[in-house]
Amino acid sequence: MKWTLGYFLIAFGVALIATPIVFWTLKKFRAKQEILHYVEWHKSKSGTPTMGGWIFILPIAVLAPFVLSAKTPLVNIAVIASLCYGILGFLDDYLKIRKEDNLGLRAYQKIIGQGGIAILVGVFYYLANPDGRIFVPFFNITWDIGFWILPLTVFVLVATTNAVNLTDGVDGLAGSVSLCFLAFLGFIIGLAPAEESGTLITICAIACGALLCYLLFNTNKAKIFMGDTGSLFLGGLVATLSMFSLNGFFIPLLGVMFVLSAATDVIQVAYFKFTKRRTGTGKRIFLMAPFHHHLEKKGWQEARIVALYCTVTIVVGVICVLTLI
């Protein structure tokens, strides 16, 4: 416990040191966020430095070698895979900055990149866990699904990285929800130990410390955005740490607000296309998707939206922990 808290504080400190370096670098290379034309109420944020995800990625990359070893292959892959997702997001952000618009990689290019990483991780995890062991919440049993652990891992990684990416649309939202998620995931891993659980918990603590520092500069009004660099990295970290600790089925529970972001976006697009084919005029269920933009259209302040998402995540997290005690 002392070492875990120690790494949490060290990660916060490393992130604090990295912050001015990241700010200086992003300003030097004019890494500024362009705002989509249909989010007109965010126009005042145009020009805010982006790719700020490096503030929490760097502490994890710096501290990981001190806790990883040949005896922690699962956690090694989790960190490497997350960094790969971060690099994919960096490429997307770089193209946006270079073209000076909010369109970086095309959708199919992102999916190919996300899917490619997910397949490699899925194959590795199947080889490491051929029985396909996974914990079932509330029933508190371990279920052996065999080969199906491979496609499940691929689906979880692709779905989670996209869901976290979609949640990153309001100041402090994706970072705050991810912080709550990883904190409760650490508690759950401690209560339902799996292989490499100690190292998994430590990585959760490092990520929480780094995210806490990042949020000092990302809450409304944000001085920096995480960009796809940060959101894809976080999605990869949330997914891999959950799956490798046998807690993949906790993702739709602890990550219910991530699920809400993805679900409302899919429902909105599907309903619009369906009604357009039927009537010639596309209709919408929400004022705007994902759901946090719907709330903004209803007049909610960004801080209130963040508070709602974090509160729901914390309440669900407490319920999940209580089922294990």
Tokens (6 digits) for 235: 């999605």
Residues 6+ apart with CB under 8 A from 87: none
pLDDT of residue 50: 92
For residues 230 and 213, what is the distance between their CA atoms, to the nearest angstrom? 14
pLDDT of residue 281: 86
Is residue 238 a contact partner of residue 255, using CB atoms and an 8 Å limit?
yes
pLDDT of residue 211: 98
**To which residue do tokens 């400190």 refer?**
13
For the CA atoms of 239, 243, 247, 250, the dihedral, rounded to the nearest 10 degrees, stands at 30
The one-letter code for the residue type at 229 is: T
Between 73-99 and 149-167, two packed helices, what is the crossing angle to 10 degrees?
40
Annotate 300-323 with b (16+ C-beta within 10 A) or e (fewer).
eebeebbeebbeebbebbeebeee
Helix H or strand E segment including 142 = strand 141-144
Tens-digit pLDDT string for the chain (325 aa)? 788 999 999 999 999 999 999 999 998 888 887 666 556 656 777 788 999 999 999 999 999 999 999 999 999 999 999 999 999 999 999 998 887 766 788 889 999 999 999 999 999 999 999 999 999 999 999 999 999 999 999 999 999 999 999 999 999 999 999 999 999 999 999 998 778 999 999 999 999 999 999 999 998 889 999 999 999 999 999 999 999 999 999 999 999 999 999 999 999 999 999 999 988 888 999 999 999 999 999 999 999 999 999 999 999 999 999 999 8
Q: Is the dihedral of CA 101, 18, 310, 67 positive or negative?
A: positive
Q: Assign 134 to helix, strand or coil.
A: strand
pLDDT of residue 41: 58
pLDDT of residue 194: 78
pLDDT of residue 67: 94
pLDDT of residue 45: 78
